[in-house]
Amino acid sequence: MGKKKQPEKPDYIKLRRTAYEYVVEQGKTQKEAAQILGVSEKTMSEWANEGGWRELRKTRQSAASTARENIQRIISLLSDKRLNIEYQITEAIDAGDADLEIRLRKEAGRISNDMAYQNKALGELNKEKGATLGMYVDIFDEIFRALKSYSPELFEQTIEFQTLYLRRKSNELG
């Protein structure tokens, strides 16, 4: 006769849920989460494999809000770089170095083009009409954060549903 599987203990369930939050929702590595929670890397890997955490994490990272944030960071970095080149152009003019000024102006133009491209991509993300996978993930996260705040117990009871629903939408829209 086969061994009957024991129900999971509440502390174990909470620990596993916290691991899920660290790895899938916050983007920590399995190793980091294992160290924080004091569980073995083997256990963390088993949980991740059983729960399909890699796919769920990838889906979350493709969310529209994440894409917008990434593009905004790129634009900010390009803007800083462009501003720095403007200072260098001024210095080249003051030093009378026309060759350096021309090279710097070309580089500034290239950066401006990159910024325009990123701004266009950001605009496209902002005007998307249809329900994308990223939109579902964003809305899904917001709803379940509110549920967790309202009733942590009810939230804990919906974890399996959350995983299954997100997988289904990922397959539909992925």
pLDDT tens track for 159-171: 888 877 877 777 6
Confidence of residue 102 (pLDDT cuts 50, 70, 90): very high
Res. 62: pLDDT tops 70:
no
Residues 90 and 120 in one domain: yes
Q: Within a domain: residue 104?
A: yes
Q: Within a domain: residue 31?
A: yes
Instruction: Give the chain's mean pLDDT.
Output: 82
Residue type, 106: K
Residues 24 and 74 in one domain: no
For range 118-143, the mean pLDDT: 73
Residues 151 and 102 in one domain: no
Residues 88 and 122 in one domain: yes
Q: Within a domain: residue 113?
A: yes
Provide, rounded to the nearest whole percent, the portion of the chain with pLDDT above 90. 26
| Containing structural domain, residue 149 | 131-174
What's this model's pTM, rounded to 2 decimal places? Answer: 0.43
- pLDDT at position 141 is 81
Contacts within 8 Å (CB) and 24+ apart, 158-167: 159/17, 159/20, 163/51, 163/52, 163/56, 165/140, 166/56, 166/59, 166/136, 166/137, 166/140, 167/52, 167/55, 167/56
Residue 130 vs residue 44, higher pLDDT: 44
Q: Within a domain: residue 103?
A: yes
Q: Within a domain: residue 108?
A: yes
Rounded distance, CA 25 to CA 60, Å?
A: 7
Residues 20 and 34 in one domain: yes
Res. 140: pLDDT tops 70:
yes
Q: Within a domain: residue 2?
A: no
Tally of structural domains, the chain: 3
Rounded distance, CA 22 to CA 24, Å?
A: 6
Rounded distance, CA 72 to CA 67, Å?
A: 9
Residues 142 and 123 in one domain: no
- pLDDT at position 99 is 95
Are 167 and 55 spatial neighbours (Cβ–Cβ below 8 Å)?
A: yes
Residues 17 and 49 in one domain: yes
- pLDDT at position 21 is 85
Res. 174: pLDDT tops 90:
no
Residues 96 and 115 in one domain: yes
